[in-house]
Structures are given as C-alpha cells and as structure tokens.
Structure 1
C-alpha cells in the first residue's frame, strides 16, 4: 500500500511524525514579502475571478490595488501594532485589503457575517481595531457595535454601500507611495499575520492569532501555477485565509463568490472556470451531493477536492468521490495550529480517516491523565508543529488551557491512530457544536431557555445533520403545575436569539426528568440518546 514513507512512529514517546517540512522560501521573508515578490514575477496571470460580481483581475491589478490600500493605511498613521477589522463576504476587493495588511505587517481580525450583535461587540472590544472593512449589509450593525464600545474609527464598505459610507472604490483612488515596498516585520516570522475566531470554553469567542510562519502555506505538492482554485470560506476561517495565501504564493487563479452557498451555482462555476482545486466544509459538501444538478455536472477538471472542519458522513464522501476523476482528500486541523494538520491522500484505502500528519507536524493521543497511547487506542488528539504562537489575543488564561508547556495543542477531539499512522476522529471531548462550521456551545441556548418561567431544567445537545452539521435540540422539564409545550420553547428561543445556527433546529421534547450520571449531574449524551429514541418512535 503506497503510504507516505516519511510518516514515522516513535514507540517510546508514542508520537507520529510527518517528517521534515520543505522550505520553499527564505525563512526571514514575511508572507506579505513572499506574495509581493511572486506577484511581481507573474504580473499578467489571472489572479482572481468573481463568479458573482463578474470581475477578473490580473496579479498586477491586485498588487496595485493592495498597494493603494496599504498606502491609505500608512497615511492614517497605522503601525504594525495596530489591527484592522474585517466583517465581509468574498467580494472583488477583499483580497486587496488582506494583502495590504500583509504588506504593512499589520494583522487583520476577521469575523463572520452571521455573528450576533453581542458577539461582534465582544470581539471588537477584545482587539479594538483602528479601521474596519465590512459589507454595506452589516454596516449598521458594525456602526452600532463601535458606538456601544466607544470605538471611534472609520468604517469602509465593500459592497451594497449605504448612503454616506466610505466605499472601497474611494480608497482605491489613493496614489501609491513612492518606491513602495512591503514592510519588514518588527518581530520577524513570529509576528501575528491575522486574527481569526474560535469559541472559548464559556462560549465567549476567542481571537485566535495566526503567525507569519511559513507553515500557514499549504503543502506545495498539491498546488501549481496553472491551478484554478475555489473555496466558499471567508477569511475568518483558516481555509479562507489559506486560500488567499496560496493564490498569492503559488500564482494560482482564485475563483470567488459573495453569495450564500448554492451547490447548483458551484457546479456551473466548476464547469465554466475549469476549477481544479476545491476546499470545502462538509456542510457544503453534503449540499452539493444532494442537489439535483450534481449527478449531471461536469466535474472532470477537479484534481484535488479537499474537505474538513467537521465530520462528514461516509455516504456523502462516497457520493462525491464517485463523481471525481481526481482525489478526494480529508483534511484535519484546528484554527490554533495555523496550518494544515493532517491530509488523507489514500481515501480509497482508508475511507473516513482524516489522514496522516503533514510534513512538519506531529500527533499523539493521550488519556485523561495525559499519558500517551499507542495505536488503535482512543483518547484526546494532540497536535504539534513547533512554531511560535502568540495565543488568544487578550486571553492568556485560555491560551494556557489549549497549549501545554511542550507546545502540544490539546484539540478537545477524541480519536485514535491506526497501525498505519492514519488518524480517525471519534467524537468531541468538549461540548462545542458546529452548525455550518460556525461554532457554538449548548449552554448558551440553555441559559436562554432557563429564563422561561415555566422551565425547571433544560439540556441542549447537538443532533448531527449531514448538511447543517450539529443542529441544536433540547429536552426540557417543565415546572410542576404549569403548562409548557415544545412550540413555546421554540418560539422563546427564536425571540431571544437572532442567530440561525443557535436555533433549536432539531426540535424540542418535554420530559418528566433529565437523564443523569451516577453523581447526579446532567448527562448530555444520555439525554441526546433519549431524544433520538423518542423521535424514532414518533
């Protein structure tokens, strides 16, 4: 079986290693410097195509636009210690804003457009950016958030511009600074490149720093200059960040779209633009496999279809695999690692495995006492890439909880590594749920339901759906002598929570009592099993 000979196993330490990482570029160069140089080398290649806005930009045009935005930022007096906020879809000029930050050596903090108002305020209060770029669709929400936390800054809109806003097109008229060059990083490769988002153990979002380390560059053996790539992920996800980095570093053509994900539209994009490399989250993958257009779509151009971010049913994987001439590749990582963790390049031999550690990474499995386990033993998955990590911005307590003194990341995922070095993910150790790859915690919904006067106790858990991911469901105990039906709970949550991903999308049941562990604590897994049994009977 042609497994990667670089994968080694240390029987003493019980650690699997992906071997040495290849160095494509001089280690002292920042991501911004690499992209700037590579764009100078291939100015006439197509850098980006927007399938929704119908725009095409060469690498020279993207570089000039990024230089204009970077010059504008320098004119405002922004320094490398300052942060730029992003809350935006994949519109034509978002890449110029991202590259401008890379060129200036200042990180952007990217947030998802679906976040609730309270979440946006919390995140902005953590990083307190000096400048914010957002879509006009979110302008009023962003403005209200900045006013609430007393953040007096400029807001620049990327599309659907409201009256009176500063438009990205206005910024793109900025004359480029004479002899413009990317800034040299004051802290070298250890300096923060970007700040993404991840949920904390309390449900309060964390600002996850990503370093300028070259580890964030995707393994180059899958990417060449003639590749046309596509992901629907925005840059608040690592896959979205990685996509724009790869496009800049490897001179690929990046196809983008600023609409809600539409699987039929994706099928047409693949055929029209001959997309060869796809990065996709499992919920979009399931939507693709289930859409009527999928069976007749011309997907012959796809050479590598990479997916990851949450679990995906083997049925969906097989359906997608059956339509591909190229490879279906399961990927696994966590945002905090700032790099790809594993890749399964042998789907047909090892279906449903997330693969082996990529070069530069290591894996170990530990038990509840922190003792490393050997092959085929289930425990917590830990990842290591040895790079500098600045932790969660403004949150040293949670930083210490996820990364230990030996620089191992404790993922909170349960899994095992088989005798061939392939990692399989079993379950979540934490309560965290993911709906369309947006992370949330059941206790956030429980807190809201508990405010209902007729509710005595509640337990919220995730019911997995191939398209949506973890759909929230609830078992509720009503107060003695009161009337309460499932619809009351559904309506209350809808009234008090705006986010679609935190709705009780899988339903509610009213129970006499919750299932408990031997110590009397609520057993979330047992309540979930009871819910599924009730649903099956009904």
Structure 2
C-alpha cells in the first residue's frame, strides 16, 4: 500500500470515513473553559504581538482583559441566548472580546469590514446583537445599519463621539473568584456565528458549536509555536486560529493592515512563524512578489491553505523555500466549522484536498442523490456526526443544506480517487468569491440592469490566482444605444461601493447571450465566449 490507511471505504454504501476522533480535553468542558484554564497555566508567556499597533501581551494580560470584557457583558445583563456583534480588524483587544464571549457562553456574530451598510443591516437584523464591537472608522456605517436596533457600539480604536471606548470596557472590575460560565446546553451550544449567503443572495448566519472538531487541524501545536493568519474573525480560519492559540498557549502574531505579501514575509522572518494558514490567493501573491526571492520561510513547520484554487506553480515555489514537507491543502466549509479533509501527500497527490479527517464521513452523489464510486464526479456531501443548530433563524435554508439523514450538501463538485483522496472540480452553485468575500452574479446584474441603455446582462466570474473570481459582464445594449463596455464598468463602480462587486474582469458588448435549449441564459457558455473574445483582442 503506497499510503497509510487513514481512511476506510465502504464499497457497498460508497462512503469514505476518517478515523475515530481523539479527545485531549475533558468532554464536558466548553471551548471557553479550556482556554480559561490553559491561560492560567502559562501566565508569563507572550500570547500576542501586534506588528501594526506595536503591542505585546502576555497570556496573563489577555486573560485579565478577557475577564474584564466578560464582566462588562455580565454587568449589562447579557444571557447566553443573546448575541454579541463583531465587525473589526485584527487589533490588539479584539481577541479579549472573543475570549470574553467564550467565558460567558455568549456567541458572537462576526461580519467582514468590507460589507456595505445594506449587507450589515440585513445580517445584524437576523441575529439582533445587544452590543457591537467595531473599529472607529466603521462606526458611522455600523450605527446607520443598526439604527432600528437597540444596540450599544464599542469602538476598538479611533474612538468616535457616541461610541463606548474599549478602554472603558477593559476598566470593568472583575468579580472575585471569576469563573467561566457553564454552558446551559452543553457543547451543543453555539460558539460563534459567521456569515454566508443563500442561493438567492439573502445573507445567512452560520452557527458554529463548541465542538472539538475546530481543533482537528492543529493537535500538534505547543507553547513553542508562533501562529499567524491574516483572516479576521468572520472567517473560519480566523476563528480557528483564535481558538487554537488560546487552547494550546501559542504565541500569536497579528496585523490589522490590508494584506501585503512583502509585509507578511517580513513578519515570518522576524517572528519565526511556525504555523501559517491562509487563502490560496494570498499564497499566490507571496509566491509572485519581488521580495519572495530573498524570503526566509525556514521557521514554518505547518503551512495550511484552502478555500479556493491555487496554481501548482505557486504551490511549488512556496514549497521550494520551506525546510520541511509541511504544505497542506485543506477543504471545508463554514457550516461544518472546521476542515473536512487535509492533504499530507503533496508529492503524490498535488492539488488534492486530501483524505477525510477524523470524525467525518464523505460521499459523492449524482443529481438524483445516488452515491458514486471512486473517480466519478458529483456533489460532495459530508457527515460530521455532530449536532448543528443550523442557520440562525432560518430553518428552511438549514434543511436545504443538510438533509434528513444529517448529511451536508456542499454545493461543490468533486471526486475521490482510488486511494481515497478528494479532488474539488468546481462549485455547483453560482456563488463566487473575490479575495474570499462571497458574492453572486445577480447582485451585479441587478445594478447593470438599472442602466437605461442595457437590454440584457449576464455576469460571471473570471478566475484570477490572486483575487479568485473577478466579476465580468456580457451586455446586450438596446437598439440605437451608443453604450460602450467601459461605460458598464464605470457605472458599476459608481453604484456599488463594495470592492468585491466591481467588474474587475471587464465587460463586453454582445449581440446575443448564449442560451440553453429552453431559452435560458447559459452562464458558462457566455463566459466561454467572453474569454474567446478577450483572447482575440
């Protein structure tokens, strides 16, 4: 056998299974309780360094700050049924807010700072947070988006008139013999709420429980490790790094600036980062920046990446500069709350997202729901073996993504090879990702359709290894119109503030869109024609 038999395959049911889960902590402890006790074990270790705010905190200091936040939330009378909102960068004290929520058993709902006001309003109207933590530069946007909610707003920096300063929160006295709260529903209770979007584009709030599966990519972390991710708390990778740095008492390096590959290379070299997790687009940017040729990556012993496609050329370039064979392409999705598979055999299985991880089962199904065997392409379905509360306040959509037998339907097309390695082919749904921010073609189509010269429009994603899916448009102009492609690009820019919804891929004017046999717009065929036209020009 060329590989260690880490998975089993049931040929009759056509299901691949990981090994049984192994637990390192008492099963009754919540994530918050584990982190609370682990912080007390190593009080003098450096827990966090902000390279952009030039701050250094020990575990003792973060522990105290987290208890202050928890005490402040308790003083407001917040219950475990309440929700805390977060829309913030990776600044010095945002993780004390996170751990404070964990200590109280109160879930936080994290949003990305790039969201437009309308999106923020929709998302926070789902969970209705009692208090929101944001950066001062986003205060007015958040305030306007939550005008109809009775909500307090705490600013993490650049404090604004009308907001509560995080310094006020951190000055809250901690009750004597402070203890983390016992979870009323045990570890089935929600730990955090992240964001996703439905097939109609309506935002959904994805619940993540206190399950130990969030630790499955990092069981070998120790106090000697130095962790880094540029992801903020609204991404699973940001949540995962926040949890694991607390659980395993590592040193974590943070930065609140827009992603800069040269800056990250500097961070890795200066702070001897050992554990890195990032999006494939960031990997590609690092591999192709001028500073890469002189970069020192020898400290890294675990390099995790996932969430999209990445060219083999970029992967090989990064790998050639590492001391060990430590690059692992992983696969998962927000609803599961952790990695489902991870590739530990890069040489033999390049571009595979690996084998099924402990505690998971996986199957590939066709359009009729029939399970498929090795090397047959279909939808990837995952069984986690654990409770999932569903999308917050949205049972209908929850049932659409998880069937009655508790299998998650990912919407991704893929296949398993003969050795039990998973390959992702493409997304079944129309969802696109630009720099890991999800969007849908129709959102941009609705904007373009407002142009009086436009008769019809089709938007699609053009893949770019740095940005992911760059939106592009094919437009039919009305008879007699003098509309040009650049007019369409400019109109979207003027009427859409979100960077990820711009036509970075460009636009073309066409006489007709490609159609299916029943007359519907064929998005893939129109995209293929767009690429053909672009190649000729």
Q: What band does the TM-score fall into relative to the shorter chain?
A: over 0.9
1:218 Cα deviation from its structure 2 partner: 3.3
Number of the residue aligned with 1:22: 22
Number of the residue aligned with 2:97: 97
CA contact (8 A) 2:101 2:108 kept: yes
1:450 Cα deviation from its structure 2 partner: 1.2
CA distance in 1, matches of 2:139, 2:2: 52
- What SS does structure 2 have at the residue aligned with 1:295? helix
CA distance in 1, matches of 2:264, 2:210: 31
Q: How does 1:144-293 map to 2 (within 5 A)?
A: 144-147=144-147, 150-293=148-291
CA distance in 2, matches of 1:109, 1:52: 25
Gaps of 5+ in 1: none
Kindly tell me: are residues 4 and 236 of structure 1, through their superposed partners in 2, closer, same or farther at Cα, counting changes over 3 Å?
A: farther
1:482 Cα deviation from its structure 2 partner: 1.8
Q: Aligned Cα RMSD in Å?
A: 1.0
1:164 Cα deviation from its structure 2 partner: 4.5
CA contact (8 A) 1:363 1:382 kept: yes
Number of the residue aligned with 2:446: 447
1:204 Cα deviation from its structure 2 partner: 1.7
CA distance in 2, matches of 1:194, 1:34: 16
- 2:380 matches 1:369: no
1:223 Cα deviation from its structure 2 partner: 1.7
Number of the residue aligned with 1:9: 9
CA distance in 2, matches of 1:94, 1:380: 37
Number of the residue aligned with 2:520: 521
- 2:507 matches 1:477: no
CA distance in 1, matches of 2:419, 2:527: 34
- What SS does structure 1 have at the residue aligned with 2:339? coil
Encode CA deviations 1:165-204: one digit per residue, 9 max, x unaligned.
Answer: 3111111111101211000000111111000001111112
CA contact (8 A) 2:216 2:358 kept: no
Q: In terms of mean alpha carbon deviation, does 220-229 or 380-389 score higher?
A: 220-229
Encode CA deviations 1:426-475: one digit per residue, 9 max, x unaligned.
Answer: 01100000000000000111111112111111110000001000000000
Number of the residue aligned with 1:341: 340
- What SS does structure 2 have at the residue aligned with 1:340? strand
Q: How does 1:310-459 map to 2 (within 5 A)?
A: 310-326=308-324, 327-459=326-458
- What SS does structure 2 have at the residue aligned with 1:456? strand
Q: How does 1:469-508 map to 2 (within 5 A)?
A: 469-508=468-507
Number of the residue aligned with 1:463: 462
- What SS does structure 2 have at the residue aligned with 1:332? strand
Encode CA deviations 1:88-144: one digit per residue, 9 max, x unaligned.
Answer: 000010110000000000000000000011100001111100000000110010011
Equivalenced residue count is 536
1:4 Cα deviation from its structure 2 partner: 3.5
- 2:294 matches 1:296: yes
CA distance in 2, matches of 1:44, 1:7: 41
CA distance in 2, matches of 1:404, 1:26: 31
Number of the residue aligned with 2:140: 140
CA distance in 2, matches of 1:522, 1:95: 46
CA distance in 1, matches of 2:286, 2:201: 30
CA contact (8 A) 1:19 1:359 kept: yes
Calculate the TM-score normalised by the size of structure 2: 0.98
CA contact (8 A) 1:209 1:392 kept: yes
CA distance in 2, matches of 1:156, 1:254: 24
Q: In terms of mean alpha carbon deviation, does 501-510 or 214-223 score higher?
A: 214-223
1:208 Cα deviation from its structure 2 partner: 0.3
1:49 Cα deviation from its structure 2 partner: 1.0
CA distance in 1, matches of 2:161, 2:116: 24
CA distance in 1, matches of 2:293, 2:363: 40
CA distance in 1, matches of 2:263, 2:202: 35
1:397 Cα deviation from its structure 2 partner: 1.1
Runs of 4+ in 1 over 3 A off after TM superposition: 218-222
Encode CA deviations 1:321-379: one digit per residue, 9 max, x unaligned.
Answer: 11111311101000000121110011111100011111111111000000000000000
1:159 Cα deviation from its structure 2 partner: 1.3
- What SS does structure 1 have at the residue aligned with 2:473? strand
Q: How does 1:77-116 map to 2 (within 5 A)?
A: 77-116=77-116
Encode CA deviations 1:405-437: one digit per residue, 9 max, x unaligned.
Answer: 111111100010000111001011000000000
CA distance in 2, matches of 1:163, 1:263: 35
Number of the residue aligned with 2:55: 55
Calculate the TM-score normalised by the size of structure 1: 0.98
Q: In terms of mean alpha carbon deviation, does 37-46 or 436-445 score higher?
A: 37-46
1:220 Cα deviation from its structure 2 partner: 4.0
1:486 Cα deviation from its structure 2 partner: 0.6
- What SS does structure 2 have at the residue aligned with 1:414? strand
CA distance in 2, matches of 1:271, 1:256: 14
CA contact (8 A) 1:461 1:472 kept: yes
1:2 Cα deviation from its structure 2 partner: 5.6
CA contact (8 A) 2:414 2:423 kept: yes
- 2:68 matches 1:71: no
- What SS does structure 2 have at the residue aligned with 1:183? coil
- 2:38 matches 1:38: yes
Gaps of 5+ in 2: none
